Amino acid sequence: MAKRIVSLLLACLTMGAGLAQADPEADLAGLVKHYKDRLPDLKPQDYIFGALAYNKDSMEQYLSIMDFPPYLNDMDKAKALWNKPFKNGKTFGDCFPNKGKNVAGDYPMFDDASGKVVTFENAINSCLKANGETEYDYGDMKTMGLVTAYAKSLSDGSKVNVKVQGKGALEAYEKGKTFFYSRRGQLNFSCATCHVDNVGKSIRSDALSPTIGQTSHWPEFRSGTEPTTLQTRFRQCNIQVRSAPLPQNSEEYNNLEYFLSYMSNGLPMQTPVFRK
Amino acid sequence: MADPMKIRATLAGDTADIKCLMNHAMETGQRKDAKTGQLIPAHFINRVTATVGGKTVLEAQWSVAIAKNPFLGFKVKGAKAGDKVVISWEDNKGDKNTAEAAIS
C-alpha cells in the first residue's frame, strides 16, 4: 500500500515535470507505440499513404491513378510559375539552396529572430517580397497551391527533417500540440479524437489516417484536380467538426503544422499526390 | 484549344493500355456565371476518334455528361510496341485538337 502511494507520488512528480518541459522526441515515440498497438498490420513505410494503406484495393487504385494522374496539366502550369523569372530576372530557385532541390523537408522551421514558425509557404512569399514581387494570398490555390505543388516536388524522396530546438521553438511546438489535442467546434472533436483515439475506424465513406505520415505529401490534388495546401485542409477539417476555420498562415495553424510535421520526421516526401 | 493533350500508351503482352488527358471546359450550358447571372454557353467535345497504327480503333460521341478535362482510357488488343496512337477531338463550336504518342 505504502509502495503504491510512493509510486503514485513519483508518477505525479514526473508527470508534472513532463508538462513543464516539451519533449517532441518522447511525443513522437508515444505516437509510434500507440499506432503500433492500434494498427499492427500497417508497415512503417506505408504510413505516408494514410488510409489508403488500410486495404489492398485502395492502394491499387491509388497507384493506378498516380501512374497517370489527372493533375498533370496543372503541374505544367505549376512548373511554369516556378520557372518564370521575376521582373528583376531572378527566379524562385534563386531564393533557396540547391535551386530549391531537397529543401522542403526542413520546413516548417522556427526563426528565433522573429520568434515565429516559418512554413514553406512563408518562404515562397519571402522570396517574392525580396524580389519586389507581390506576395501570394495563402488561401489562393491557383498561385500558392500550384507553385508549392511543383516547388515541393523538387524534394521528392528526401526525408522530413523538422527541428525543434531552443525555447521559442519548443513553445511554438507545444502550442501546436495543444491545438491538436484540444476539442473544438459543435461536434466537440479534437484532431486527436479522429487521428489518434479513433485511428483506423471508418467515418462515413472514409477511414481515419494516423497522424504519423500525414504531412509529408502536401499540397495534394484532392478529387484529383483541386490543389490543396495542408493549411487549407486544416480549414476543411475544422469546418467538418463545425468549428470556425482559421485563415491559412494564422499563428495557430503554423504552430499546428510545426507540431504535425515533427510527427512525420524521417519519412520520405512526395508531392503532389492524388487524393479523393 | 491551346492546351495539349497528354497520352500515355504502354504495352502489356499484346494489349496496349492507352490513357489520355484532355483539356476542355466541357460546359453543359446549364451553369450560370457567378458575376453576371447569365448562362455560360454550352461548349463541349462532341466527337473523339482514336487510331492505332493508322487504323481507327475508337469513335465516340460525347455530350454534356462528360466532365471538365476529360480522361479517356481504353485498351487495344493486337498492338505492337512503336505503333503510333493518334487521338483527336472536335467540339460543338468546331474547335479541334489532336495528339499522338508511340506505344512503349
pLDDT in tens, A65-75: 999 999 999 99
Interface test with B, best of A64, A65, A68 (most B CBs within 10 A): A68
What string of pLDDT tens digits covers the 104 residues of chain B? 457 899 999 999 999 999 999 999 999 999 999 999 999 999 999 999 999 999 999 999 999 999 999 999 999 999 999 999 999 999 999 999 999 999 99
Q: What is the pLDDT of residue A196?
A: 98
B6–chain A nearest CA distance, Å: 8
Identify the closest residue of chain A to B3 by CA–CA distance. Answer: A73
pLDDT (average), residues A125-142: 97
Q: Tell me: the pLDDT tens digits for A109-124?
A: 999 999 999 999 999 9
Decide: B23 and B11 in contact? Cβ < 8 Å.
no
Question: Burial letters for A79-117: b for 16+ Cβ neighbours within 10 Å, e otherwise?
Answer: bebbeeebeeeeebbebbeeebebbbbbbbbbeeeeebb
Let me know: does B79 contact B71? Beta carbons within 8 Å: no
- Identify the helix (H) or strand (E) that includes residue A41: none
Q: Tell me whether B69 touches chain A (CB under 8 Å).
A: yes
Query: How far does chain A reach from its first CA to its final CA, in angstroms?
Result: 56
pLDDT, residue A135, reads 97
Write down the residue that cell numbers 479522429 correspond to.
A194
Opening angle at CA A276, ends A270 and B5, nearest 5:
75
- Active-site residue flag, A237: yes
What residues are paired with B18 via a beta bridge? B9, B74
For chain A, say whether B3 makes contact (Cβ under 8 Å): yes
Give the closest residue to A177 by CA, choosing from A191, A163, A160.
Answer: A191
Quote the minimal CA–CA distance from B21 to chain A in Å.
7
Separation CA A274–CA A220 (nearest Å): 6
Cell numbers found for residue B92: 460543338
Give the architecture (CATH level 2) of B6-102.
Answer: Sandwich (2.60)
Q: In this model, does residue A6 exceed pLDDT 70?
A: no
Q: Which residue of B has its CA nearest to A65?
A: B19
Burial class (CB in 10 A: 0-12, 13-18, 19+), A268: middle
Q: Compare all CA atoms of chain A with the CA of B2 and give the residue at the minimum distance.
A: A73
Identify which of A103, A136, A106 has the alpha carbon closest to the alpha carbon of residue A122: A136
Whether residue A169 is predicted with pLDDT greater than 80 in this model: the reply is yes
Question: What is the CB-side half-sphere exposure of residue A174 using CA atoms within 13 A?
Answer: 13
Report the distance separating Cα A177 and Cα A180, nearest Å.
5
Strand, helix or coil at A181?
helix
Say how far apart CA A144 and CA A135 lie, in whole Å.
9
State residue B102's pLDDT score: 95
Q: Hey, which residues 51-110 in chain A have their CB within 8 Å of chain B?
A: 67-68, 70, 72-73
Domain spanning A25-40+48-276: which CATH class is it, in words? Answer: mainly alpha
ipTM: 0.82
- Cell numbers placing B57: 480503333
Domains in chain B: boundaries: 6-102
| Residue B37 identity (one-letter amino acid) | G
- Cell output for B76: 487495344
User: For residue A92, what is its C-alpha cell?
Assistant: 524562385
Minimal Cβ distance to B69: which of A67, A68, A225: A225
Rounded to 10 deg, the angle between the A146-153 and A120-130 helix axes is 110
When pLDDT is cut at 50, 70 and 90, the band that residue A59 belongs to is very high
In degrees rounded to 5, what are phi and psi of residue A99? 60, 25
Predicted confidence (pLDDT) per residue in A23-54, tens digit: 999 999 999 999 999 999 999 999 999 999 99
Tell me the pLDDT tens digit for each residue of A202-251. Answer: 998 899 999 999 999 999 999 999 999 999 999 999 999 999 999 999 99
